[in-house]
Amino acid sequence: MKLTGAQMVCEGLVKEGVGVIFGILGGALLPLYDTLPQYPQLRHILVRHEQGAAHAADGYARATGKVGVCFATSGPGATNLVTGIANAHLDSVPVLAITGQVARPFIGKDAFQEVDITGITLPITKHNYLVMDAAEIPKVVKEAIYLARTGRPGPVLIDLPRDVQIEQAEFHYPAKVDLPSYKPTLRGHPAQVKKAAKLINEAQAPVIIAGRGVIISGGYSELKELAETAQIPVITTLLGISCFPESHALSYGMLGMHGMAYANMAVDAADLIIAIGMRFDDRATAKVSAFAPHAHIIHIDIDPAEIGKNVRVDVPIVGDAAAVLKELNKLVNPAKHIDWVRQLDDWRKEHPLTIIRDTEQLLPQYVVRQIYEATKGEAIIVTGVGQHQMWAAQHYWYDRPNTFISSGGLGTMGFGLPASIGAKVGCPDETVWCIDGDGSFQMTIQELATIVQEKVAVKIAVLHNNYLGMVRQWQEMFYGKRYVATPLSSPDFVKIAQAYGFPALRVEHKKEVIPAIQKAMEEPGPFLIDFNIEPEENVYPMVPPGAALSEVLEGPKKQAKAAKDSAKLPVSNL
């Protein structure tokens, strides 16, 4: 059977179980879009900017575990995807981006809307293709989806010249992928697993640091079994949040720059770190030379290139987190670690995070806590990047697996709104809250039109402080309070929402918080709340840049200890 290139792309997507595409068309992608009505199984969601398409595909992929797909035309359409692709790359999210390209005879001639997108995305995709022959499309689509979702997941891009979309060829869809050079290791090496079990069985003060790899592998029960069998405290990375129930007695929150003080203290004092599906990012380890100074480190990761990249590792295990944990659990002896767990509980009592200042001011932490109460902790929370992201990570307790969606590695402001669209489209029966800041929100605010046109019932909480708050906090602490370029004059978000055509409320006082959230929950469609929060509230705890995890600042009182001026900051990744 002969099909056009465009039809073959759609056939492939349908065969791979793709149901939703986020995108914007354009000249170079017209043939593909013209074919879409023949495939009603493929729902197309028109976004307002291609960055939104990539983030929505990313949010969809994180929420569902399936590959998120986005389309963009050649040239500017393709370059607008770049931030979203880089974001998916750093957070290991399976995204398939399909871009239009100028027709083959025009490639390399600086044709209208031509850009070398495979060249541009080379370092930020797991793999990419420029398809020069329609007959290759079935194999390319099959491979691209396979590469995106297997091993360490990541974005894959297919660049389709306009004339290849029209070209006809015989359609043979391959039954399986044949990639001899790509064979991810899933099962851990038995000898390494044995060594790890020995270290665990001998440890007096072990700590698990769990990352997004646990979520990707679906290893929730395996992680729980390990923690409970040997009574090992569990700490997560930012992206590991919700891989272990936070109300569990062995859950000690998140580590890192804005992690819980007790979590950072535990890592600092531990004699064994069991790192699972995480990559020792500098925001998590703080000063890397002072990271876990007393501990042996077991590192379980599917990507061999992550082993030993940032910290020394005593027992590396390359493999899928769930598969390795399953084998490890067979060898781990029941243990109690009574003194160690008691020590952590004492630290948690002495350095609590959960107490929110009792004041009439409208505090962002209070807002997050009330969203937690109203949703009974069962919503999917999607965030942008900034202070609000940290408050959402700290003050909402995630008990259900995979309910926290945030931009970690790239720290992409503007991720929240489009990613929440993707999450809600992927999980229509879930309550999805987008917690955003006024700075982050305005970077992709145009997607409000998408939620109205596509009737995506996300609830949006804008923590509005008229600052690029996280940067302002740094200026306050390390740049002598010189607030250069951080004050924002943000618009009236209630009027903005109304102009887009959906209801919204402004909250200026603490007493209005609960009723407003209730109103948002009762509304069947999208709803926005503009929370005018205390403008100069800071995120604590905080490990100052260049400091060790043990040097955590818990509040403004101890701030005097922090470096006074940027000139005195040690060299680190600011």
Q: Which residues bind another protein (CB under 8 A)?
A: 118-119, 122-123, 126-127, 147, 179-182, 303-305, 308-309
3-state SS class at 39: coil
At its nearest, how many Å lie between another protein and the CB of residue 401? 28
Given the complex with another protein, which of 127 and 388 has the nearer CB atom? 127
At its nearest, how many Å lie between another protein and the CB of residue 180? 7
At its nearest, how many Å lie between another protein and the CB of residue 221? 29
Q: Residue 224 corresponds to which tokens in the numbers above?
A: 């729980």
Given the complex with another protein, which of 14 and 305 has the nearer CB atom? 305
Given the complex with another protein, which of 126 and 395 has the nearer CB atom? 126
CB-CB contact of 251 with 386 (8 Å) = no
Burial of 574 (0-12, 13-18, 19+ CB in 10 A): exposed
Given the complex with another protein, which of 228 and 303 has the nearer CB atom? 303
Residue found under tokens 């599906």 = 277
3-state SS class at 375: helix
In degrees rounded to 5, what are phi and psi of residue 357? -45, 135
Q: How far is Cα 465 from Cα 530, in angstroms, rounded to an integer?
A: 10
Given the complex with another protein, which of 147 and 542 has the nearer CB atom? 147
In degrees rounded to 5, what are phi and psi of residue 21? -130, 135
Question: CA 369, 537, 234: angle at the middle one, nearest 5?
Answer: 50
At its nearest, how many Å lie between another protein and the CB of residue 181? 4
Q: What is the DSSP letter of 238?
A: T
Given the complex with another protein, which of 185 and 229 has the nearer CB atom? 185
At its nearest, how many Å lie between another protein and the CB of residue 178? 12
At its nearest, how many Å lie between another protein and the CB of residue 361? 46
Given the complex with another protein, which of 172 and 309 has the nearer CB atom? 309
Given the complex with another protein, which of 183 and 557 has the nearer CB atom? 183
3-state SS class at 130: strand
CB-CB contact of 44 with 18 (8 Å) = no
At its nearest, how many Å lie between another protein and the CB of residue 147? 6
Q: How far is Cα 505 from Cα 531, in angstroms, rounded to an integer?
A: 9
Could you tell me the CA-to-CA distances from 263 to 311, 348, 405, 528 in Å, in that order?
Answer: 18, 8, 21, 34
Q: How far is Cα 402 from Cα 564, in angstroms, rounded to an integer?
A: 39
Given the complex with another protein, which of 304 and 411 has the nearer CB atom? 304
Q: How far is Cα 60 from Cα 426, in angstroms, rounded to an integer?
A: 5
Q: How far is Cα 48 from Cα 436, in angstroms, rounded to an integer?
A: 19
At its nearest, how many Å lie between another protein and the CB of residue 45? 29
Q: Residue 539 corresponds to which tokens in the numbers above?
A: 């995120």
Q: Residue 276 corresponds to which tokens in the numbers above?
A: 């699972």
Given the complex with another protein, which of 122 and 499 has the nearer CB atom? 122
Chain-centroid distance of CA 545 in Å reads 22
At its nearest, how many Å lie between another protein and the CB of residue 75? 20
**Residue 556 exposure: Cα atoms within 13 Å on the Cβ side:** 6
Q: Which residue type does 20 have?
A: V
At its nearest, how many Å lie between another protein and the CB of residue 118? 7
Given the complex with another protein, which of 186 and 563 has the nearer CB atom? 186
Residues in the chain: 574
At its nearest, how many Å lie between another protein and the CB of residue 128? 8
End-to-end CA distance of the chain: 57
At its nearest, how many Å lie between another protein and the CB of residue 122? 6
Given the complex with another protein, which of 355 and 571 has the nearer CB atom? 571
Tell me which H or E stretch contains 87.
helix 76-90
HEC string of 486-535 equals: CECCCCCHHHHHHHHCCCEEEECCHHHHHHHHHHHHHCCCCEEEEEECCC
Given the complex with another protein, which of 179 and 514 has the nearer CB atom? 179
Neighbouring CB atoms inside 10 A of 282's CB total: 15
Q: How far is Cα 510 from Cα 357, in angstroms, rounded to an integer?
A: 12
At its nearest, how many Å lie between another protein and the CB of residue 308? 8
CA nearest neighbour of 8 among 243, 172, 118 = 172
